[in-house]
Structure 1
Amino acid sequence: MAAEPKSVNEEDLKLLKERMNLIASADPAQYHNEFSLRRYLRAFKTVDNAFQGILKTNKWRKEYGVAELHDNKELIEKYSDKARVLKHRDIVGRPIIYIPAKNYNSSDRDIDELTKYIVYCLEEASKRCFEEVVDNLCIVFDLNNFTLSCMDYQVLKNLIWLLSRHYPERLGVCLIVNAPAFFSGCWAVIKGWLDENTAGKVIFVNSEMDLCQYLIPDILPTDM
């Protein structure tokens, strides 16, 4: 089941709303809804830090061209085997991003292009959130046929940075399925990059029965 989001101080939320309303009244593109403001407060802890985080995200989105990524058909087609936003949702209604790790190779990719594709996937999944019910995502890393040559640490670093800076509190759960025993060495490295809250959202799923607690196994792609 989805963990209940941490509550935020309502007075802090009121102050953040007031600041954002001033900004958004001058530039509507700066607007964030209340669900987003709550996520930033939970992630950044204080009104000042949340406000600065939002402004930095808005600046990044404009400079990075986030709104135009869905028009980049060449990019989407080129990296379509790296991740997919599924049509189906997990048990609690989260949109799912499915990532088949076997399709990664750090020596055979353009990191900037691949990062843009990851942002595209995060955007598409976020748009599918029913925010009144659940406003976070399920990311599934499928390690079936995974080898060490598939371990792309830089891609993971970029994903972690994106989730922490520009999609705070969007990650609801991260499922690691079909992990081989030797992946424990990789995980020891990756876990060191995560804060305690994020690390607690990573679940190693060891059986189909366990997977059924989170999603229906049949919805996972077999064509990637």
Structure 2
Amino acid sequence: MAEELKPVNEDDFKQLKERMSLIASADPAQYHNDFSLKRYLRAFKTVDAAFQAVIKTNKWRSEYKVADLQNDSELIAKYSDKARVLRHRDLVGRPIVYIPAKNHSSSDRNIDELTKFIVYCLEDASKKCFEEVVDNLCIVFDLNNFTLSCMDYQVLKNLIWLLSRHYPERLGVCLIINAPTFFSGCWAVIKGWLDENTAGKVTFVNSEMDLCKYLIPDILPTDM
């Protein structure tokens, strides 16, 4: 089941929309649709904080050249085994970002390049959202054949930062599948970086039957 979205205060939403309309009328690149503005309000609580966060995101998107990442075929090919936005969706219609942890290693990547690839994946998945129905994502971390050498804490820190600052409320659920027992030590570290809301969206899936509550297992890649 999709989590019921927390309603936003309509007066706050109206104020934020009016403030953004003034900005967007002068610079159309600043435009955010209603769904996006409501996500920022849910995440940042107040009109002022949400407004400042939207402006910072717009500045970041421009400086980071987010729109150009989809054309960086070299980057996409180089890191294509690190994550994939699947063609299929989960049971409530969320786009799925699949991450095979076994293909990660802090000694086998350029952190700036890999972070750009993560942004590319988040962008690709976000564009696939049917926002009128569900406007968030399902991220699946597959820990099959995971070893401690695959544990790239910096990449996870970057992902958490991106989701909290520039893709607020885009995460609907994070599924961790095939986790070995020793991953509990890693999780104790990672959980400390998450706020209570985000940590509550992380689910350890311990069986195929449990996985079927979220998605059809056959849609997960076997070629990564």
TM-score category (smaller protein): over 0.9
Once residues 94 and 58 of structure 1 are traced to their aligned partners in structure 2, the CA distance between those partners, rounded to angstroms, is 24
Amino acid at match of 2:172: G
Amino acid at match of 2:18: E
Once residues 95 and 59 of structure 1 are traced to their aligned partners in structure 2, the CA distance between those partners, rounded to angstroms, is 26
Once residues 17 and 105 of structure 2 are traced to their aligned partners in structure 1, the CA distance between those partners, rounded to angstroms, is 43
- The aligned counterpart of 1:124 is 124
- The aligned counterpart of 2:152 is 152
Amino acid at match of 1:106: S
Amino acid at match of 1:97: V
1:48 partnered with 2:86: no
Alignment of 1:205-220 (within 5 A): 205-220=205-220
- The aligned counterpart of 1:6 is 6
* CA deviation string 1:124-159 (max 9, x = no partner): 000000000000000000000000000000000000
Once residues 108 and 215 of structure 1 are traced to their aligned partners in structure 2, the CA distance between those partners, rounded to angstroms, is 31
Q: List runs of 5+ in structure 2 lacking aligned partners.
A: none
- The aligned counterpart of 2:164 is 164
- The aligned counterpart of 2:107 is 107
- The aligned counterpart of 2:89 is 89
Once residues 179 and 57 of structure 1 are traced to their aligned partners in structure 2, the CA distance between those partners, rounded to angstroms, is 34
Once residues 83 and 180 of structure 2 are traced to their aligned partners in structure 1, the CA distance between those partners, rounded to angstroms, is 20
Amino acid at match of 2:35: F
* CA deviation string 1:51-105 (max 9, x = no partner): 0000000000000000000000000000000000000000000000000000001
**Percent identity of the aligned residues?**
85
Q: CA deviation at 1:221?
A: 0.1
- The aligned counterpart of 2:221 is 221
- The aligned counterpart of 1:197 is 197
Q: CA deviation at 1:18?
A: 0.4
Amino acid at match of 2:57: T
Alignment of 1:15-26 (within 5 A): 15-26=15-26
Q: CA deviation at 1:108?
A: 1.1
- The aligned counterpart of 2:133 is 133
- Which secondary structure state, in structure 1, belongs to the residue aligned with residue 86 of structure 2? strand
Could you list the runs of 4 or more consecutive aligned residues of structure 1 that deviate by over 4 angstroms after TM superposition? none
Once residues 120 and 86 of structure 2 are traced to their aligned partners in structure 1, the CA distance between those partners, rounded to angstroms, is 13
- The aligned counterpart of 1:29 is 29
- Which secondary structure state, in structure 2, belongs to the residue aligned with residue 175 of structure 1? strand
Q: Cα RMSD (Å) of the superposition?
A: 0.2
Amino acid at match of 2:40: Y
- Which secondary structure state, in structure 1, belongs to the residue aligned with residue 193 of structure 2? coil
Question: How many pairs does the alignment contain?
Answer: 224
- The aligned counterpart of 1:188 is 188
Once residues 120 and 5 of structure 2 are traced to their aligned partners in structure 1, the CA distance between those partners, rounded to angstroms, is 25
Q: CA deviation at 1:17?
A: 0.4
Amino acid at match of 1:126: S
- The aligned counterpart of 1:173 is 173
TM-score, scaled to structure 2:
1.00
Amino acid at match of 2:69: L
TM-score, scaled to structure 1:
1.00
